[in-house]
Structure 1
Amino acid sequence: MHPPTRRRVLAALGSAAALGTAGCTGLRARYLPRTHERDADVSGDSGPWPTLGGDARRTASADGPGPDADARLTRLHGANHFPERQVVVGPDFFLFVVRRWFDPGGGDGDDPFSGVIAADREGSERWRLPTEPDVGVPTVVGNTVLVEDTNGTRAVDAETGAVNWRYRSGYGFPHVSPAVRRGRVYVGGRRFLALDAATGERLWRTDVEMPAVQTCSATEDRVVVSNGYDGNGGGLFCLDAEDGSVRWEADVAATYDPAAVGEKRCFSVDEEGVLSAVSMADGSVEWTRNGAADGDYLRYEQPVLAGGVVLVGGWNAPLRAFDRETGETAWTAGPADERHYAPVAAEDGVYGVTWEGTVYEVGFDGTERWRRSIARTVTCAPSVADGALYFGSRSGETVEEWRGGFDRFGP
């Protein structure tokens, strides 16, 4: 073996220096995608609604009661225009996703702010994290907040907003919300990835590119990935949580919202409004219901698991419940001519909101218990925690008059 020549040594040093220059940001992101300042603290309580759909399975079912019909409506935080992402409820704080927020009084002039805002339970701002406008619902794990936008994933200190680590996973989609199980963070990118929640180190990535990943759900040993492009396989993939290998692909159309994962089946609504029950064992489609999620107008929506039924919001159609085993309609409830978001299930019933500002409660047998109208346009699906519903809304008829923010409907 010949000793290295001076030319080879200089070339190697030059290559190393080049990676550290601002002109090689692309190479750095490609070959050194992780930036690590410190390990994230993932210990402690994650809160009653720590992620999209309330849990990694995206069931939208939570412990504790929901609100009463005479609940107060309180504006927690103001954000202009269109608050359209689900509110995350941590142990002692809220996370609000804001897009196109103009904040003249905050020193930003007329520049729009897009990002994540952390506020305490009274609504006072704790910190804000600027992101790309396309940002998913954050996920709380212990004392850390995981945020994913089109550039990658960041682990942020829940108290201060300081970034502990960052992983540049390549282009992702705005619907992607990190799912966390057993210390692993599952996120999208050019390939689907599993990261160590504390360090940000990559544990595995899929062998093939999966650039159309929209979001995911996770159990202890599996990850169900929603795929938004028919040319890239089925609408759902199931990956092994240990190594990212594909366990099955489900023959359903492109899917944009997460599957709700039960013990034997997962349930998804595809771009055609078809609700499918897919076997978790082998990916076979056990039953489908055409038009389960639409009335006069097609709308994508994620299903919700409550008791022995799967629930799907309707667009100019009532809330619909289907038997999990057979797919037969169990009951319908709520306004029949309004636009329903995905409901939430608490221990005492099912709670729903509509675009038109109707809030209602339904028993698990489909009996409507109460209905109330609020003078706001609701702009996202609710979360439930502490006996209250949390959601985004706005007032005003025209864009110039819109005043949006995040509300609490509860005691």
Structure 2
Amino acid sequence: MPSTTLSRRELLASAATAGAAATAGCTGSDGVPDDQRWPQFGFDATNAAANPDAVGPSEEPTVAWVHAAGSYYRNSTQPLVGDAVYANAWFDGVFGLAPADGAVRWHDAGDYAQLTPALADGTLAVPHRDGLRGVAADGGLRAFGRAVGFGRWRTDLTNPESSPSVADEAFVLGVGTAGHGPDGGRVAAVERADGSVRWEYSVETSVWGAPALADGVAYAAARDDDEADPDTRGTVHAIDLADGAAVWSKRLGESPRFNPVGAPVVGDGLVYVPTGTGPLVALDADTGDEAWRLAPPDGVQASPALADGVLYVAGLDGTLRAVDAATGDPEWTEAGEKYYGGPTVGDRGVYAVGADGEVVSWTRNGAERWRVRIDPPVSGSPVPADGMLYVGTGDGLLYGLE
């Protein structure tokens, strides 16, 4: 099925409409239903990237609105959906946008890192270049009709490297790179209430993907920083969520490079780790022993999605694969484009967007629903909610498709 191109004229008209609404002080929609929200990277603490209640567009979508900022949407970065659509626009700061029309409800012009925030208890935890910042999800205090009281707390953690995950009253994230910060690379747990550091766990290098949390354990995939070594290998660490004690560590792979970029996913007793230009590796969640691996051409950089015993894997070879989550046995495959961002799953099926801007939706059994094309480059993941699909691009555009 050929892609429908969402034209530049349509894009500019939508962006102008959203800007006019913001200028007029329009607040737009009151938000989306609670069960359709997307409050953190990968939807929940396991990074499963699947919300069975989230409803995307019913048919081939058109552009409802576009928000333009000087942002850069890093690999697998996702917008968040709650009472607003929250977009981390990096140097341009954090935006709270009306879900229906993209109108700007509030904007904090802080110097943030290009990572997905996390939303909990009315607070956005946003990685900042100097640490983690707690931002009021509603924009905080207001004066003369403008939001001015963004900050709730701030934690000094040099050089956040991953999106935070939320569980057990804490935000958990990768921080720093060995040799590039005063404390080297580590995984940190930060208390949701006040931003105090619960614990820090040292790693040899850095963790780029949001840690996956389940059953009191945090699973973090650390990279190998020896860029000159073609046989480099990353390491997966299982860490006790209560106190930061080591549970187990597993060294990954041989050659080619096993150097995780995307976040791991945990579920059904396994931890699924995309290794970059190497395969996707499934490890036993209790021991770290390898259960199976999937090795498509060019490797798997993006985080997979997990729903109802099926793992959806988007490869650098431009193929989406649905495999049995327990065994890795294939169920179906569909052609697309090179995927830097992972797939997501909602009520109406599976969504993925290729590097060249082709957004595709399939049913759970692999039947194609529609294809449309937005402005490339794209390295993030699409998020369905309340009949919409939200996806950001490397040129700083956040699309609301309906």
Structure-1-length-normalised TM-score: 0.75
Of 273, 287, 291, which aligns to 1:282? 287
Question: Which position in structure 1 is the counterpart of 2:97?
Answer: 119
- 1:302 aligns with 303
Amino acid at match of 1:171: N
> Is the Cα–Cα contact under 8 Å of residues 61 and 372 in structure 2 kept in the other structure?
no
CA contact (8 A) 1:138 1:177 kept: yes
Q: Is the 8 A contact 1:136 1:177 kept in 2?
A: yes
Q: Tell me if structure 2 keeps the 8 A contact 1:360–1:372.
A: yes
One of 206, 214, 233 as aligned partner of 2:208: 214
Q: Per-residue deviation at 1:201?
A: 1.8
Alpha-carbon separation, structure 1, partners of 2:112 and 2:135: 18
Alignment of 1:8-407 (within 5 A): 48-64=37-53, 65-80=55-70, 82-84=72-74, 86-99=77-90, 113-121=91-99, 122-132=101-111, 134-160=113-139, 162-173=150-161, 176-189=162-175, 190=183, 191-206=186-201, 208-215=202-209, 216-229=211-224, 234-252=234-252, 253-291=258-296, 294=298, 300-335=301-336, 339=339, 341-368=341-368, 370-377=369-376, 379=378, 380-393=380-393, 404-407=396-399
2:22 — aligned with what?
none
CA distance in 1 between partners of 2:81 and 2:338 (Å): 31
Name stretches of at least 5 consecutive residues in structure 1 with no aligned partner. Answer: 1-44, 100-112, 395-401
For residues 279 and 294 of structure 2, the distance between their equivalents in structure 1, rounded to whole angstroms, comes to: 6
Q: State the Cα distance separating 1:200 from its structure 2 match.
A: 1.4
Structure 2: how far apart are the matches of 1:81 and 1:157? 21
Kindly state the Cα deviation for residue 309 of structure 1 after the two structures are TM-superposed.
1.8
How many Å separate the matches in 2 of 1:267 and 1:145? 27
Alpha carbons of structure 1 residues 87 and 120: separation in structure 2 relative to 1, 3 Å: farther
Q: Does the CA-based 8 Å contact 1:225-1:237 persist in structure 2? A: yes
Aligned-partner residue type, residue 205 of structure 1: E
Q: Quote how far apart the aligned CAs of 1:230 are.
A: 6.5
Is residue 47–residue 89 contact of structure 1 (8 Å, CA) maintained in 2?
A: no
Max radius of gyration: which structure? 1
The alignment partner of 1:377 has SS state of: coil
Match of 1:36 in 2: none
Deviation of residue 47 (structure 1)? Answer: 6.7
Shift of 1:280: 0.5
Q: CA deviation at 1:302?
A: 0.9
Shift of 1:46: 9.5
1:243 to 1:233, Cα distance in 2 relative to 1, 3 A: farther
The separation in 2 between residues aligned to 1:347 and 1:81, in whole angstroms, is 29
Which residue is equivalent to 1:5? Answer: none
Q: Cα offset for 1:359? A: 2.7
Task: Give, in whole Å, the separation in 2 of the partners of 1:86 and 1:69.
Answer: 25
**Higher mean displacement: 55-64 or 305-314:** 305-314
Partner Cα separation in structure 2 for residue 373 and residue 256 of structure 1: 27
> Would you say the 8 A contact 2:86–2:96 is kept in 1?
yes
Measured at CA, do residues 406 and 128 of structure 1 come closer, stay the same or move farther in structure 2, by a change above 3 Å?
same
Aligned residues: 337
Higher mean alpha-carbon deviation, 254-263 vs 313-322, is at 313-322
Q: Distance in 2 between matches of 1:146 and 1:385?
A: 21
Deviation (angstroms), 1:131: 4.1
Match of residue 37 from structure 1: none
* Separation in 2, partners of 1:139, 1:356: 27
Alpha-carbon distance in structure 2 between the residues aligned to 1:341 and 1:147 = 20
Stretch deviating more after TM superposition (79-88 or 321-330): 79-88
Deviation of 1:277 (Å): 0.5
